[in-house]
Amino acid sequence: MFRFGITSEGFALGRRNVHYSWVIVSIASMMWMTSSGMRFATSLLIPEFHKEEYFGWSIGFITLGFTIQWLASGFLAPLSGWLGDRYGVRRVMWAGAILFIAGMLLTGTMTTLWEFYIYFGILLAAGMASFQVTLVAGVTLWFKKRLGLAMGLLQSLQGFGTAVAIITVFILFDRFGLRATFWIPGLIGGGLLLFLTRYFYNEPADLGLTPWGANEDEPVKRMQNNELAKTRTRIFLKQAQKTTAFWNLVGIHFWGCAAHNIILILMVDMAREAGLSDVTSVVVYITLTVISTITRFGTPVLADIFGAKTIMFVCFSAQTFPLLILLVSQDVTAFFIFAVLFGIGLGGEMTAFPIINRQYYGDAPTGTTYGWQMAGAGMGMGVGPVLAGFLRDWTGVYDWSVLLSFSLSLTAVICIIFLPSSSRRQLPDWEDSLPPEARTANSSLGLVADD
């Protein structure tokens, strides 16, 4: 008999029962593909917005719109993680889907810079922030083991979604103009987000399950959307913020994201100024994105095995030194070589953070912690492009922008060296400060791979 749907054992697919944790990964991947791709794909329109016959805005003022979006999402990231930890991620996602639709529709109608800043920079950022933290934090609740594989699938499909969004924006804008470029993905994507949120459960206990990899004798215990969740979140965050690793990870995310977002936002315009055709410039960008998708999958898996600190050092270094290629040569071959090498580092730059959180803090409510790290990322994503954009306006060339990216990324590499080893918990006894009913079944010291 063919079965399909939720059962007491998870999810029925034909004759097999699939643990619902893997359904959550699939749903989260589709949601992240939908919600995050447009923020990068819109960078294709920077040269168009710069043209006098269109808006005639300067590169610096256009990148300021991206800066506002990233800063807004950065400031909202801790709030999103905090709300998800305390009240459940699904409620945050409902609001995020509605904000995503509104932001996309209004951006399609913009005619002035202030509208670009409000619709694209603030409103759409609020919708995206509702997913960028809650999806990652939500997935971690479903896994005791194999979190690296789950995160690899989630993060790699986000990269695939960005590649699809780039192609979509290129075709829609070329054939139908600005309004269709935002309205079609906004309505279809927003509708998909609303539909999928219905099946994204806050935690295994919502279905009477335990996380994937939990011991057979581990009880089903609800850890979200109640007073115990509020207590756990408050006490853990207070203790985590006393560790140097907490603030160093926020800083690393800031430096690394400030560096790579310069390239992600300005790559197409850089290539066009270097003499590449519009189509070739877009292909270079797609190449970078596709390559990063591979390392987005591999990085969490390797970090789970060998330790996140070691893998982060390798990936951040791979994001740093290929930048020197663009200072030596800017022909077609150099751009494609750069795209491949930089894409390898880029894919691993962000994807090890959920793993190092698990290795440092175990089963603690790390949604808020990851939210702080994403706040650092958001601020970095915002600051990098606008500085690079105005450097381009002031100097007339992109060389100084590339040097800025290199310096920021190198700073992140140095900071990683000073992280503690991810082979031991940072707060092994943090649950001792909790009332007994708020503690998990297992709160002892855990070990992972040395680094």
How many CA atoms lie less than 13 Å away from 107 in the CB half-sphere?
31
Q: Within a domain: residue 217?
A: no
CA dist 76 and 83 (Å) reads 10
Q: Does 2 reside within a domain?
A: no
Q: To the nearest whole percent, how much of the chain has pLDDT over 90?
A: 34
Residue 442: pLDDT over 70: no
Contact 86, 230 (CB under 8 A): yes
- Bridge partners of 7, per DSSP, are 10
Q: Which of 423, 413, 425, 426 is nearest to 312 (CA)?
A: 413
Specify the higher pLDDT residue, 260 or 227.
Answer: 260
Q: What band does 10 get if pLDDT is binned at 50, 70 and 90?
A: low
Nearest one of 77, 63, 216, 175 to 134, comparing CA atoms: 77
Residues 6+ apart with CB under 8 A from 136: 151, 154, 354, 370
Residue 299 within any structural domain of the chain: yes
**Distances, alpha carbon 334 to alpha carbons 316, 317, 326, 329, 341, in Å:** 20, 19, 7, 6, 11
Q: Is the dihedral of CA 232, 238, 243, 249 positive or negative?
A: positive
Mean pLDDT for 403-417 is 96
The pLDDT, as a whole number, for residue 223 is 58
DSSP designation for 225: S
Give a yes or no: residue 311 inside a domain: yes
Which CATH number does the domain housing residue 131 bear?
Answer: 1.20.1250.20
pLDDT tens per residue across span 101-150: 999 999 999 999 999 999 999 999 898 888 877 787 778 888 888 777 88
Domain count, the chain: 1
In the block, residue with structure tokens 């790699």: 156
pTM of structure: 0.75
Domain assignment present for residue 15? The answer is no
Contacts 24+ apart (CB under 8 A), 393-400: 393/58, 393/59, 393/60, 398/266, 398/270, 398/273, 398/326, 399/327
> Mean pLDDT lowest for which of 9-13, 247-251, 320-324?
9-13
Helical spans, DSSP H, in 307-426: 308-320, 325-328, 332-349, 353-361, 367-395, 399-417
What confidence tens digit (pLDDT) does each residue in 169-186 have?
A: 989 998 999 999 999 999
- Within-domain flag for 18: no
Report if residue 77 sits inside a domain. Answer: yes
- Does residue 9 surpass a pLDDT of 80? no
In a domain, 4, yes or no: no
Domain housing 407? 26-206+222-438
Whether pLDDT at 322 is above 90: yes
pLDDT at 420: 93
